[in-house]
């Protein structure tokens, strides 16, 4: 399946994946505001730092009424191990397939070596779905070094909520 850009104001494709600790989660669905943070996987030290920052700000996101989930293409064992080792308190999902990555409009990379990982993996992405189920924010990168600043994102989400700020980037 070829990767296609998701439209601001559109809907996040229906993607259901397993969740660390059991059960499944449909990404971006739920009451209120929902943020989906796509990370490259356990092999990525930049992801580990970014998700550590997210974990530190989790109370602020929840205080702003934003549910957060992180997801990767890692297999269950890697996702469970990392979530436990890092002490993440937000839901962590795993097992994104290449077709699901493409449906989400993510860039997908092949491992540089078996030491990195053993499967194609998603590059970073962040999706914020508003209470109406529409994509308020779409941020997709093709490299691990480019990601939204979480403090700025949180400020922006509060501004959007307080000022009823419209979805941007919807022109043609």
Lowest-confidence segment of 2-11, 24-33, 66-75, 117-126 by average pLDDT: 2-11
CATH code for position 116: 3.40.30.10
Positive or negative CA dihedral for 99, 18, 75, 69?
positive
**Whether the Cβ atoms of residue 18 and residue 93 lie closer than 8 Å to each other:** yes
Task: Write out pLDDT tens, residues 95-113.
Answer: 999 999 999 999 999 998 8
Give whole-number Cα distances, 3 to 74, 126, 147, in Å.
19, 16, 19
Q: Is residue 96 part of a domain?
A: yes
The residue range of the domain holding 141 is 38-160
Task: Write out pLDDT tens, residues 19-68.
Answer: 999 999 999 999 999 999 999 999 999 999 999 999 999 999 999 999 99
CA distance 58 to 16: 23
Q: Is residue 33 part of a domain?
A: no
Q: Is residue 30 part of a domain?
A: no
Q: Is residue 16 part of a domain?
A: no
């Amino acid at each position: 399946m070829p990767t296609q850009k998701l439209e601001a104001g559109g809907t996040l494709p229906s993607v259901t994946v397993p969740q660390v600790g059991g059960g499944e989660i449909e990404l971006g669905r739920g009451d209120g505001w929902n943020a989906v943070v796509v990370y490259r996987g356990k092999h990525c030290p930049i992801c580990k730092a970014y998700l550590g920052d997210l974990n530190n700000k989790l109370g602020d996101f929840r205080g702003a009424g934003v549910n957060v989930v992180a997801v990767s293409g890692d297999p269950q064992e890697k996702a469970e191990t990392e979530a436990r080792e890092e002490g993440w308190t937000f839901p962590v999902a795993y097992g994104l397939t290449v077709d699901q990555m493409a449906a989400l409009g993510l860039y997908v990379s092949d491992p540089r070596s078996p030491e990195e990982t053993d499967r194609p993996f998603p590059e970073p992405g962040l999706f914020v779905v508003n209470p109406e189920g529409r994509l308020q924010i779409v941020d997709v990168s093709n490299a691990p070094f480019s990601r939204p600043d979480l403090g700025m994102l949180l400020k922006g989400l509060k501004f959007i909520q307080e000022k009823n700020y419209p979805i941007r980037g919807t022109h043609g």
